[in-house]
Amino acid sequence: KAGVTQTPRYLIKTRGQQVTLSCSPISGHRSVSWYQQTPGQGLQFLFEYFSETQRNKGNFPGRFSGRQFSNSRSEMNVSTLELGDSALYLCASSWSGGGYEQYFGPGTRLTVT
């Protein structure tokens, strides 16, 4: 069974640009969650999608958005990038979200210069 995949794995952008990250969940999983990991703030929840609907959203500005497609693949978009957006972005999939084991992808390392 293939694991969670994320593309791209590494990305370098400049301030003001926008970026789109992609996550393909494990087959059969309908919930995809996104997290940001930085040395200063640690791991922070961004949002969760289930059956193409955003079910929960963390405390991030509106520059951070996401969506989920009918095949459960998910994308997150960050507009008007800031230096502080440099982080490891992780997505995780689970069968149905809360209470179910989450499987994490390898992450996308975003560097904003």
Partner 1 sequence: ELKVEQNPLFLSMQEGKNYTIYCNYSTTSDRLYWYRQDPGKSLESLFVLLSNGAVKQEGRLMASLDTKARLSTLHITAAVHDLSATYFCAVDMSNRDDKIIFGKGTRLHILP
CB of 16 to partner 1, least distance (A): 28
Name the 3-class secondary structure at 33.
Answer: strand
Query: Among residues 12 and 18, whose Cβ is nearest to partner 1?
Result: 12
Q: How far apart are CA 46 and CA 25, in angstroms?
A: 16
Spatial CB neighbours of 88, under 8 Å, sequence gap ≥ 6:
36, 37, 38, 107, 108, 109, 110
CB of 15 to partner 1, least distance (A): 26
Query: Among residues 11 and 104, whose Cβ is nearest to partner 1?
Result: 104
Residues that bind partner 1 (CB under 8 A): 33, 42-45, 48, 56-59, 90, 92, 97-107
Bridge pairing between strands 74-78 and 87-94: unpaired
CB of 102 to partner 1, least distance (A): 6
